[in-house]
């Protein structure tokens, strides 16, 4: 049984909304002009991390699940790492999206397999059979949309705006403010994408939002978001749909949890994301990727709800260790600051992925210290046992609660 820790080489995903500099700054690499949107640290088969020996992390986990994961985790999730850690660097808005619940993920994945869609196909909505609840912790100020506003608030935001599409959405909500009415209103808005005259209709609404903002809007933040999204994605109904969703700002160190079924979109900022190990994203706009409005509406939750913040637990002699716990079994996230002369303990069992965000840290374990500098990461198997961290810097650790 091996107790060695494994330094990781991680995949960078070049999506159009990404920042060309922020992930490169973390890794200490030269920008290449491409938008580096996400750094994946984990064992998802579409882009697994690799060890210094060139072994893919998913293969390493399968080679000895009990040593890599521990019996509790391997019995619960099988021979797979149940979480995926990401660094997310958004310069533009991500897609308006939702993640499916477990039964919907399995059904959608099997359906697309029967249709003969190959793995990785851009025509797939379901890339695996897993659900994808996720949590984000802000590194910089982080902007987003998450969950539906109350119908009364939505109607106030739509009041006085021009365009037949907005009028139809408003009429739907006036007639029925239940979850059913919310679903009908949102679906009607998204379906306009395929209707003749949609671009002109949305342009008229955006112009009225701009006029309201210029006149001293009482909804300046929501209106500015519409204009931002309309500029990035002209003619996209997602810009108007933002008025139906809660507008969220996370300050550095604050966190938000997105359960499966919650409609959301990240707008900008640098954050650490941890999620169930899945790549299932159902998109309804604000993207150049596949839009699957029907699947999103079918999987979404339309009950108005404020953004969900995970439970925060603090530890350390000065409260410098913050652990974020969401109501899911696959993941938790610890963020720790370490100063000279002190050490902090990481979770002592199960698989762990550790990323050094700043400075230089040393992981003390049975095989001796493993030193990480900013941007470097390591997979810590269950068999490694207890780990303490010393040095000077900041780290994040994803683990299974």
Domains of the chain, each with CATH number or no CATH? 9-145+249-299 (2.60.120.10), 148-243 (no CATH), 311-399 (2.60.120.10)
The residue ranges of the chain whose pLDDT is under 50 are none
Predicted pLDDT at 353: 98
Pairing of strands 134-138, 264-276: antiparallel
Measuring CA to CA, which residue among 39, 13, 92, 96 is closest to residue 272? 39
Identified catalytic residue from 283, 325, 373, 388? 283
Active site residue 80: no
d(CA 4, CA 357): 22
What gap in Å lies between CA 222 and CA 4, rounded to an integer?
A: 50
| pLDDT value of residue 55 | 97
If we measure between CA atoms, which residue out of 215, 205, 194 comes closest to residue 241?
A: 205
Residue 131: per-residue pLDDT: 86
Radius of gyration of the chain (CA): 22
* Summary count for the chain: helices (H), strands (E): 12, 20
Contacts of the segment 108-116: beta carbons below 8 A, 24+ positions apart: 108/280, 108/295, 109/280
Alpha helix stretches (DSSP H) within 64-101: 65-69, 71-77
Q: Give the pLDDT score at 2.
A: 64
Residue 215 DSSP code: T
pLDDT number for residue 91: 96
Task: Tell me phi and psi for residue 327, to 5 degrees.
Answer: -80, 55
Question: Degrees (nearest 5) of the Cα angle 228, 207, 213?
Answer: 65
Element of type H or E holding 240: helix 238-241
Exposure letters 345-365 (e unless 16+ CB within 10 A, then b): ebbebbbbbbbbbbbebbbbb
311: Cβ–Cβ under 8 A, 6 or more apart, which residues?
324, 325, 326
């Amino acid at each position: 049984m091996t107790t060695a820790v494994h330094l990781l080489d991680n995949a960078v995903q070049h999506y159009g909304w990404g920042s060309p500099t922020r992930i490169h700054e973390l890794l200490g690499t030269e920008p290449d002009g491409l938008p580096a949107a996400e750094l994946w640290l984990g064992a998802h088969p579409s882009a697994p991390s690799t060890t210094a020996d060139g072994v893919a992390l998913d293969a390493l986990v399968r080679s000895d699940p009990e040593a890599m994961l521990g019996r509790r985790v391997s019995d619960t999730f099988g021979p797979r790492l149940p979480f995926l850690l990401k660094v997310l660097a958004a310069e533009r808005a991500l897609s308006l999206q939702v993640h499916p619940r477990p039964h919907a993920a399995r059904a959608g994945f099997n359906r697309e397999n029967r249709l003969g869609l190959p793995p990785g196909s851009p025509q797939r909505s379901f890339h695996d059979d897993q659900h994808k609840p996720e949590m984000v912790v802000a590194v910089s100020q982080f902007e987003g949309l998450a969950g539906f506003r109350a119908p009364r608030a939505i109607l106030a935001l739509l009041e006085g705006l021009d365009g037949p599409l907005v009028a139809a959405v408003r009429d739907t909500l006036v007639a029925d403010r239940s979850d059913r009415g919310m679903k009908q209103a949102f679906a009607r808005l998204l379906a306009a994408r395929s209707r003749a005259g949609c671009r002109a209709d949305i342009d008229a609404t955006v112009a009225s939002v701009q006029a309201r903002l210029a006149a001293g809007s009482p909804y300046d933040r929501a209106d500015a978001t519409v204009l931002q999204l309309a500029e990035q994605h002209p003619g996209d109904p997602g810009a108007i749909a933002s008025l139906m969703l809660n507008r969220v700002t996370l300050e550095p160190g604050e966190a938000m949890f997105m359960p499966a079924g919650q409609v959301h979109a990240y707008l900008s900022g640098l954050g650490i994301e941890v999620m169930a190990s899945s790549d299932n994203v159902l998109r309804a706009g604000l993207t150049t990727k596949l839009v699957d409005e029907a699947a999103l509406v079918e999987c979404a939750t339309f009950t108005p709800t404020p953004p969900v913040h995970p439970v925060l637990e603090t530890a350390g002699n000065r409260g410098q260790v913050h652990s974020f716990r969401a109501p899911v079994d696959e993941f938790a996230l610890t963020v720790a600051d370490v100063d000279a002369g002190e050490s902090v303990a990481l979770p002592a069992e199960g698989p762990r992925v550790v990323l050094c965000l700043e400075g230089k840290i040393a992981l003390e374990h049975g095989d001796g210290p493993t030193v990480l500098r900013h941007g470097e990461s390591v997979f810590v198997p269950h068999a490694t046992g207890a780990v303490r961290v010393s040095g000077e810097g900041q780290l994040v650790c994803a683990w299974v609660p």
